[in-house]
């Protein structure tokens, strides 16, 4: 797939030797961990340095058509002990520095001490997420599934998403360890439960060309 479809699989970006210390740093940060993963990982020096790797910046820059800066990193850790279903949805909540009075932003919430707001389509179109695979993502361990081209439809209601699920054939983003899956936040996506005990650990890093993502709105680093 290419960025016109809203996602792209880039195989073989990182060898295991480069991923091991990043995963070790995340695993050592027990305070942020839950059974299903960890959030707000850019505060870890090893993760922040990794997010600014030239290979990741180049992939993100191809989508953004500008230089890219990471602003949020999250670990998804699907395993036999933490196995979950993710329904079809779009990613619309962004971490921000401060609350503003705007009809386009919100509702607002706090997650682990970070302020979040649901963003308008114009802001979300300026973001790309890169999913770095620590493990092989196969058809059996709950891979990311996407509805191609749906990122161009704006922020959708649950009813509209339900209709798209019936009308568009989903695509599974199977990727080997060391691969990167790039995706737009407004791309409708989901994942099923894993059918095997092997882990599926993914570091989800989000990038923007400018942290001043909208007038009066600055992205928080999380």
Per-residue confidence (pLDDT) for residue 1, from 0 to 100: 41
Domain extents for the chain? 3-218
Q: Which long-range contacts (CB under 8 A, 24 or more apart) does 97-106 make?
A: 97/218, 97/219, 97/220, 98/218, 100/216, 100/217, 102/216, 102/217, 104/214, 105/214, 105/217
pLDDT, tens digit only, all 222 positions of the chain = 445 899 999 999 999 999 999 999 999 986 666 766 899 999 999 999 999 999 999 999 999 999 999 999 999 987 656 666 789 999 999 999 999 999 999 999 999 899 999 999 999 999 999 999 999 999 888 899 999 999 999 999 999 999 999 999 999 999 999 999 999 999 999 998 877 877 889 999 999 999 999 999 999 999
Look at residue 31 in the predicted model and tell me its pLDDT: 67
Task: Could you please state the CATH topology (level 3) that the domain comprising 3-218 is classified under.
Answer: Jelly Rolls (2.60.120)
């Amino acid at each position: 797939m290419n960025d016109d479809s809203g996602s792209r699989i880039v195989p073989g970006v990182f060898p295991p030797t480069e991923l091991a210390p990043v995963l070790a740093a995340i695993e050592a940060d027990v305070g942020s961990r839950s059974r299903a993963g960890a959030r707000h990982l850019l505060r870890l020096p090893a993760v922040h340095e990794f997010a600014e790797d030239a290979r990741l910046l180049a992939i993100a820059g191809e989508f953004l058509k500008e230089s890219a800066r990471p602003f949020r990193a999250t670990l998804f850790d699907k395993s036999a002990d933490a196995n979950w279903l993710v329904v079809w949805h779009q990613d619309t909540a962004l971490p921000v520095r401060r609350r503003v009075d705007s009809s386009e932003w919100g509702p607002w919430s706090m997650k682990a001490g970070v302020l979040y707001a649901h963003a308008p389509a114009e802001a979300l179109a300026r973001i790309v997420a890169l999913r770095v695979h620590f493990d092989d993502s196969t058809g059996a361990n709950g891979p990311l599934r996407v509805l191609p081209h749906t990122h161009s439809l704006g922020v959708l209601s649950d009813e509209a998403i339900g209709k798209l699920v019936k009308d568009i054939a989903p695509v599974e983003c199977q990727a080997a360890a060391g691969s990167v899956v790039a995706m737009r936040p407004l791309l409708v996506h989901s994942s099923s439960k894993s059918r095997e005990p092997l882990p599926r650990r993914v570091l989800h890093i989000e990038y923007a060309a400018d942290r001043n993502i909208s007038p009066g709105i600055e992205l928080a680093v999380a």
